[in-house]
A and B are shown apart, each in its own frame.
Chain A
């Protein structure tokens, strides 16, 4: 019997884990583009979180006398049609857009994974679930979102819900196809031969092995959600006013775009920055997790 206490066992081997993590970090940091994306995203997130401290102005406060003022020292991004400070609304709008985006992404990831895993493991569910997802994917995204919003009513929560419902089929199919190949692996057979229940196999053994492509996909859904929300707002079924979101600020600015360029330009820039940063970050994560990249 060896005399190793568990303390010794633990310290003897942290070295191995640390080495592996170090190499992963090194290759991630080499990817300057991904790093840029991460930094921009973090900056935007901080801006969104600390919005109240950055701008003491209330985003809902209207000063009708000051409507449609160009950028000035008092209102650095100008004011909108109701005299509200565009800078403040942009920052708060960023907050809402980012929140909506990330909630959509998370919801999609969880729902998509569950559906995909079940479809991959149970043949009888596979047919049903896949036909359902195909049906949903054959409806144009925006139309489906509009229909759902009209049905469910206009709240921020429902915006998240409709976008999540729309994106889930894609993730579900990805999860299913990855899970199908993981299911064939010998280690799954091994744990089956040791009496594991289907739930254990699916969620403890298969799920962690399908995470990589799902995480990459989720990142891109995050970015897409921000744009989709904008599209929905453009049509009037996005986040309901007066709650600011990057999308509905653009919507309001659309009418006065030639005279009051600031209403569209600044939120637009923030939106472009967010989406770009997330996409670049997603590419970086994918390069990191992709087993085919040079080893």
Chain B
């Protein structure tokens, strides 16, 4: 498998900062003495790459594995197999490098209410990573950096001594963002960063994330189930279903011409405000199968309106339909 640091496709000479190769994450179910040990195939053979300074989104519904994929990329859960290649180097099993790597890859979490330690002040929360990495020699220097960060995310200096429970959801999320930025990472995985926030706060946080990206130059891996938000923030999008990426394309292309039947169904189900933009809804039969017992062949075949015999026997190979627009389907 190539581990190119430059990708010379129609994108021009953009750097690939992160490459995910055949990544799998299976969770063992607890039955130690069962005859057959079944696994939850949360992430099943996922391959994609992310360019520097882009926003790559992972979308899908509950159970598709996008959150697990985000955590596996950061090695918060150890991958079952596959490779993670950061800036051309295989870092999958680089335990001794992990500490340095962690500085470069951070995470923003979904629930601002449990993402901050309730027993620590904001100042302590923000200074903790600096202490772990022994950045800055003096407490004063750390505090200065801390106050800088607070200002950058739109909070005030006097919030330094407060506790998380004194803040609203939107403010807490800003603190979560500040914490992620403190180590000056190159890649940030955003796990549903605005899903738990009020609608009017979402736009504030999304704008903040965009501002930071342009200011500092960060690559985002943006995980969400909200298609409208994803369309607005992303450069490229990967649609996930049952642990697999089923379609991958630049944002506008995906919305204009979705090839995979699941993507089409997903887009048609989004409730839109403009009456003219409403598409005919594609109703999928059944429900998403359990990742313990995924269907054979194409994972989507038992709910797909276009399914044929080959779909239940063989996993589809990756096809490039348009430039940089890939789909995993026998018939698309």
Do any CB atoms of chain A lie under 8 A from CB atoms of chain B in the complex? yes
- The residues of A with any CB-CB pair to B shorter than 8 Å are 1-2, 4, 6, 8-10, 12-14, 16-17, 20, 185-187, 189-197, 200, 205, 208-209
Give Cα A186–Cα B189 distance, bound, in whole angstroms.
14
Contact residue among A6, A12, A193 (Cβ-Cβ distance under 8 Å from B74): A193
Indicate whether B253 reaches chain A with its CB closer than 8 angstroms.
no
Tell me if A189 and B161 are in contact (CB < 8 A): no
A-B contacts, 14 listed (Cβ < 8 Å): A4-B158, A9-B160, A12-B157, A13-B159, A13-B161, A17-B162, A20-B166, A186-B114, A187-B117, A187-B125, A189-B71, A189-B107, A191-B117, A193-B106
Task: Check if A1 sits within 8 Å of B160, measured CB to CB.
Answer: no
- CB < 8 Å: which of B102, B114, B140, B151 contacts A2? B151
Given contacts A193-B106, A194-B106, contact A187 B158 (CB under 8 A): no
- Are A20 and B115 in touch, CB under 8 angstroms? no
Q: How far is the CB of A181 from chain B (nearest CB, A)?
A: 11
A186, B109: Cβ atoms closer than 8 Å? yes
Most buried by B among A2, A6, A193: A193
User: Do A192 and B103 touch (CB < 8 A)?
Assistant: no
B118 contacts chain A at the CB level, 8 A cutoff = yes
- On whether the beta carbons of A190 and B179 are closer than 8 Å, the reply is yes
Contact between B132 and A12 (Cβ–Cβ < 8 Å)?
Answer: no
Tell me if A189 and B129 are in contact (CB < 8 A).
Answer: no
The size bracket of the interface on B is 35 or more
| B158 touches which of A9, A185, A209 (Cβ 8 Å) | A9
Residue numbers in A under 8 Å from B162 (CB-CB)? 13, 16-17
**Is A190 within 8 A of B161, CB to CB?**
no
Number of A-B contacts (CB under 8 A): 91
- Contact A185 B74, beta carbon cutoff 8 Å: no
Is B277's CB within 8 Å of the partner chain A?
A: no
Assess whether B111 is in contact with A186, with CB atoms less than 8 Å apart.
yes
Contact with A along B110-131 (1 / 0, CB 8 A): 1100111111100001001100
**Given A9-B157, A13-B162: A195 in contact with B109 (beta carbons within 8 A):** no
CB distance from A141 to the nearest CB of B (A): 33
Cβ of B133 within 8 Å of any chain A Cβ, yes or no, is yes
Q: How far is the CA of A12 from the CA of B158 in the complex (A)?
A: 6
